[in-house]
Amino acid sequence: MTARARWTTLSVIGAAAMLLPSLIGSSYVLSALIFVGLNAIAALGLTLVMGFAGQVSLGQAAFYAIGAYVSGVLSVSYGWNTWAALAASVLAGALIALLVGLPIFRLSGLLLAMATLGFGIIVYYVLVNWSAVTGGPSGLTGIPPLRIGPIRLDTDARVVRLVWICLLLLLGLTGNLMDSRVGRALRAIHGSEAAAQAAGIDTGRLKLGIFTLAGAMTALAGGLYAYYLAFVNPSPFSFAYSIELVLIVAVGGVGSLWGAPLGAAAVVGLVEGLRALLPHLTTSHGAAEYEIVVFGLVLMALMIALPQGLTGLSRRSA
Amino acid sequence: MTSGAELAQYLASGVVVGGVYALIALGFVIVYSVTRIINFAQGEWVMLGAFGMAALTARGWSAPVAFVLTVLMVAALGALLERAAIHPLRHASPLALLILTIGASIALRGGALLVWGTDPYPVPAFTAGPPLRVLGAVVIRQGLWVIAAGALVFAALWFFFTRTYTGIAVRACAINARAARLMGIRVDRAFLLAFALSGALGAIAGAVIAPITYATYDMGLMLGLKGFVAAVLGGLVSPPAAIAGGFFLGIVESFAAGLISSGYKDAVAFVVLIALCLAQVGGWLPWRISEEEAG
Amino acid sequence: MRFVIVLALAVLTALSAPSPFGRATPASAAEEPYKIGAIFSITGPGSSLGIPERDTAVMIETDVNARGGIKGPDGKLHPVKLVIYDDGSDETKAVLAAKKLIDEDRVTAIVGTTLSGTSLAITDAVQKAQIPMVSCAAAIKIVEPVAERRWIFKTPQSDHLIVAVLTDYLKAKGLTRIGWLNVDYAFGQLGWIEFEKAARELGLTVAANEKFGQKDVDMTAQLTRVKAANPQAVVIWSIPPSASIATKNYADLGLRAPLFQSHGIGNMKFIELAGPGANGVTFPAGKLLVAEQLADNDAQKSVLLTYARDFEARFGPRNTFGGHAWDAVQLAVRAMAKAGPDRAKVRDAIETTRNFVGITGIFDFSPSDHNGLDRRAVTMIQIVDGQWKLAR
């Protein structure tokens, strides 16, 4: 897709994102769209890491947590302006990704996956045990909403616009990045790392840069999550969420930036769809146990049918 | 001050838990070395092994019969997973295969929840009796069974992979699948066998630890994770190294809980893991914790 | 590209379209049903609590409808309809479930959630939507500060009530040097915070303070540290299976100090799993477990016996978690009988509920107390020969 076509598409979706909330009355649907957007922003960074730098991070939930907790702690305990706290959380995400990445991005393949997995779990235990700052396992309440002038971004209709504008901007900007010299270099690495190195590309620095960018984006999603829910606790940031992000990227497809929003929409849509549908197919109140079985089976069927993910489908049909 | 008896106790506890991790790690190693797939559902075999023992002994079967039946059934499930899901996708990317096994583990966990509910199920110890005392440390009898199971499984695997034709053929596939195929070895049979074996190993682990941990539908995730870490510590392709990795992880956790902070014990284990990964890249390790080249 | 847009639209439609099956109402329904929403952790780590809660809620729905329904303020009988969702013990899913109940199912009140984390995650949405909610989770932050929790109530006893009964008991028995262990999630942490506070006030010494994970397979390392501190009594604050494993390890290590635990072990499974090591364990809990042993003049006795009999006839051994849901659903049902399907009036009706004899205790709600319980809702129970006995 050319840059112009991409920005046109993004503008169309953006206009829809601005208009739709006024048409959709249900805060449930808006809320689902917010979580799709948050997951997509978090997964976008991981798509870059997996699809373009060719590495799997199994600890991405840690950056989501860092974003949520830096925003939450700075706004609640230190009374920071919420936007400043959000910016700080993005910076923190980038900085920590850089610091962590410096040593561990010398690893590759499984070792890197293991190191990121370990990092994710260490961050989780810090959240649980460092009660004086994080509130421990029971979390942090009373996080104020973001506000633009007098407008408090505390309704679903307002938050959904904010989240989707962030997502679309990031999609456009990362798209531009991928068209640039950096993007070509990254694709070269994905093709053959040795060849890229022979062509004079500093592959280590590029990968580290991508990891840092991913850390910042995931932290942004985490910060938005904290302001939306007004509450953070450690349990959403466990190993299971890191796996869910990998899942979203794989379902969406690693070959394209569109994989992140598509994967996020598919996973949230599947969970909510099953919730709506299954009670009608089984006994009225015993459905929840079936939901996870069916979710697992659908996931397997999806991967067997579309091993390249959803964006692989569009390439095949095109 | 920490007394000798306390240190002995940390070591004893660590060895028993480490034995559990080692058994689970072996399952990862068998599948990975033959198929290059990380089987995320490995922990679920452990869960099914524990439930198999719980369900069959509760129906009055004797422990040895229940054990054999359980291991056979889970091995069959492993084979089924390979035939139904892995085989059609065998040429797909490692990521797609990883997600496939994640899907399988979610479905298996949900199935266990449907069948057995959320309550933990007790399983009687293989041999009843009070715990033993070794050098001032308390060792429960089932702990000895865990270690014995590890040793027996290891011996059996060694015999299978070095002394039987099938085992040697499977190993050939692990080393070079293409060459093995040219030599007339059925590579897809090796895949099937690897998954069946991993099911059996997981079930053995689940069956011997169930008297200690009980059977719960969601026990597989954490145990699978720890077993995976142990397997990676051991390089993911070498059974003896995976066993060493399992014991190492169990002992580090136990000493971390005893000497540093019980709240951070899992975190400490992962700090050690990252340090080891980095040490390998730095070339400071006398052994390799992963067969892959560092980038 | 077209594919992307088509898919995006498809997802949007799927999310916004009403369920194709959902609108079929039986033609014979005499009166508009009263709808109550419920969110329980039927899967995930909270499921051992959430499933008995779900079972209890379904039982009440069946029983109320068997009697014809709720007699509303209009004098007519309305069938009660429970809409139950699973949150998978996950904060995000709980928020979506709450919004679905509020906006799509348009229920009058929400019962649940099961866990403190998920309850706190939905407080913001519930407050803004102005819908009454009765939580089955224990954390006091769910209902305090009351000024910011106008629409939210909860039925389990707050931790400080439970802990106060335990620490008074310890003090009365002359056990002042205590070893403490807790599970490393909210339940254990909140227990520790209250225990530390109460111990300071009563002059108890905390000789050891350890943690373990709910999925840990062995706690002997932590218990070895506790043993080395030589306490007069040990308290373990957790739920099965980790509470049972710790109890077994405690016996295996040969610790002799009397062992105390929390209300988290209030089901028969704990005794079954911990084996002989469970004997002698003493813990604070609601009266449900020892309903038969209560004095005949105890106001709760008949309610407790009826619930225990009904639940055990259908689902298996009683446990306190189902009791929390019984109280929550009954509160909603009673409030709707008084106020009809009007969210604000139902909230007022719950807040003005006095002397409601429930399973967890006798509730006296007020504008400044959205839990409504006092220390009479907690009693000390000891496990003797694998049975619960009122402790003296």
ipTM value: 0.85
Which two three-digit tokens encode residue B160? Answer: 């299978």
Q: At what angle do helices A156-179 and A3-23 cross, to 10 degrees?
A: 170
Alpha carbons A243 and A229: distance in angstroms, whole number: 22
Which of B17, B57, B119, B123 to mutate: most C Cβ within 10 Å?
B119
Q: What is the pLDDT along chain C (392 residues), one digit of tens a residue?
A: 445 555 555 555 544 444 434 344 444 456 889 999 999 998 887 888 898 999 999 999 999 999 999 999 988 999 999 999 989 888 999 999 999 999 889 999 999 899 988 999 999 999 999 999 999 998 888 998 999 999 999 999 999 999 999 999 999 999 999 999 999 878 888 899 999 999 999 999 999 999 898 888 888 889 999 999 999 999 999 988 889 999 999 998 989 999 999 998 888 888 888 888 899 999 999 999 999 999 999 999 999 999 999 999 999 889 889 999 999 999 999 999 999 999 999 999 999 999 999 999 999 999 999 999 999 999 999 999 999 999 97
DSSP per-residue string spanning C259-315: EEE-GGG-BHHHHHHHGGGGTT-EEEE-GGGGGGGS-TT-TTHHHHHHHHHHHHHHT
Using an 8 Å CB-CB cutoff, list chain B residues near A239. Answer: 225
The 3-state secondary structure of A72-112 reads: HHHHHCCCCCHHHHHHHHHHHHHHHHHHHHHHHCCCCHHHH
Nearest to B212 among C44, C217, C221 (CB): C217
**Do the beta carbons of residue A230 and residue A287 sit within 8 Å?**
no
Residues paired with residue C183 on neighbouring β-strands, in sequence order: C212
CA-based nearest residue to B131, from B122, B123, B141: B141
Burial class (CB in 10 A: 0-12, 13-18, 19+), B162: exposed
Alpha carbons A245 and A222: distance in angstroms, whole number: 13
Neighbours of chain B (3+ CB pairs under 8 A): A, C
- Output the pLDDT for position B288: 60
Using an 8 Å CB-CB cutoff, list chain C residues near A175. Answer: none
| Interchain proximity A138–C188, CB inside 8 Å | no
Place of tokens 């033959």: B34
DSSP three-state, residue B197: helix
| Interchain proximity A9–C21, CB inside 8 Å | no
For residue B96, pLDDT beyond 90: no
**Do the beta carbons of residue A128 and residue A137 sit within 8 Å?**
yes
Alpha carbons B171 and B163: distance in angstroms, whole number: 11
**Dihedral sign for Cα atoms in the order B195, B200, B203, B205:** negative
H or E stretch at A246: helix A239-252
| Interchain proximity A231–C11, CB inside 8 Å | no
Which two three-digit tokens encode residue B98? Answer: 């990883």
- Output the pLDDT for position C30: 65
| Interchain proximity C217–B209, CB inside 8 Å | yes
Using an 8 Å CB-CB cutoff, list chain B residues near C225. Answer: 6, 258, 262
Parallel, antiparallel, or unpaired: how do β-strands C70-71 and C77-78 relate? antiparallel
Smallest CA–CA distance, residue C255 to chain A, in Å, is: 27
**Do the beta carbons of residue A14 and residue A20 sit within 8 Å?**
no
Give the confidence band of B284 by pLDDT, cuts at 50, 70, 90: low
Alpha carbons A71 and A92: distance in angstroms, whole number: 10
Q: For C31, which DSSP code?
A: S
**Do the beta carbons of residue B52 and residue B206 sit within 8 Å?**
yes
Alpha carbons B197 and B191: distance in angstroms, whole number: 10
Q: Is A165 an 8 Å CB contact of chain B?
A: no
Identity of residue B1: M
- The CA R_g of chain C, rounded to the nearest whole Å, is 22
Closest A-chain CA to C42: A288
- Strand C205-212's sheet: what is its strand order? C205-212, C177-183, C233-237, C259-261, C282-285, C379-384, C387-390
- Distance from first CA to last CA of chain A, Å, rounded? 12
Which two three-digit tokens encode residue B201? Answer: 């190993």
**Do the beta carbons of residue C157 and residue C377 sit within 8 Å?**
yes
Dump pLDDT digits (tens) for B146-157.
999 999 999 999
- The CA R_g of chain A, rounded to the nearest whole Å, is 20
**Do the beta carbons of residue C208 and residue C231 sit within 8 Å?**
yes
CA-based nearest residue to B224, from B30, B45, B17, B16: B45
Which two three-digit tokens encode residue C183? Answer: 């599970």
Which of A108, A112, A122 to mutate: most B Cβ within 10 Å?
A122
Identity of residue C37: G
Q: Is C21 an 8 Å CB contact of chain A?
A: yes
Alpha carbons A91 and A99: distance in angstroms, whole number: 12
Q: Is A81 an 8 Å CB contact of chain C?
A: no
Give the confidence band of A282 by pLDDT, cuts at 50, 70, 90: low
| Interchain proximity B225–A239, CB inside 8 Å | yes
**Do the beta carbons of residue C170 and residue C260 sit within 8 Å?**
yes
With left for phi above 0 and alpha for psi between -120 and 50, is residue C275 left, alpha or beta?
Answer: left
CA-based nearest residue to B6, from C251, C226, C181: C226
Which two three-digit tokens encode residue B112? Answer: 């266990």
- Output the pLDDT for position C18: 44
Which of C7, C39, C152 to mutate: most A Cβ within 10 Å?
C7
Residues paired with residue C86 on neighbouring β-strands, in sequence order: C40
Residues paired with residue C82 on neighbouring β-strands, in sequence order: C36
- The b-or-e profile of A176-202 (16+ CB within 10 A means b, else e) is ebbeeebbebbebbbeebeebeeeebe
Which two three-digit tokens encode residue C383? Answer: 């496990």
Closest C-chain CA to A137: C186
Cis peptide before A236 (omega within 30 of 0): no
- Output the pLDDT for position B48: 97
**Do the beta carbons of residue B142 and residue B126 sit within 8 Å?**
yes
Which of C55, C58, C87, C91 to mutate: most A Cβ within 10 Å?
C91
For residue B130, pLDDT beyond 60: yes
H or E stretch at C83: strand C80-86
Smallest CA–CA distance, residue B67 to chain C, in Å, is: 20
Place of tokens 């319980």: C373
**Do the beta carbons of residue A289 and residue A282 sit within 8 Å?**
no
**Do the beta carbons of residue C26 and residue C62 sit within 8 Å?**
no
- Distance from first CA to last CA of chain C, Å, rounded? 74
Identity of residue A132: A
For residue B199, pLDDT beyond 80: yes
**Do the beta carbons of residue B21 and residue B205 sit within 8 Å?**
no
Number of H helices, E strands in chain A: 14, 4
Enter the pTM of the model: 0.87
Q: Which residues contact C380 (CB under 8 A, 6 or more apart)?
A: C165, C166, C169, C282, C283, C284, C390, C391
* Selected residues 1-20 of chain A with any CB under 8 Å from a CB in chain C: 1, 5, 9, 13, 20
Q: Is B242 an 8 Å CB contact of chain A?
A: no
| B228 Cα distance to chain centroid | 7
DSSP three-state, residue B61: coil
Alpha carbons B147 and B24: distance in angstroms, whole number: 13
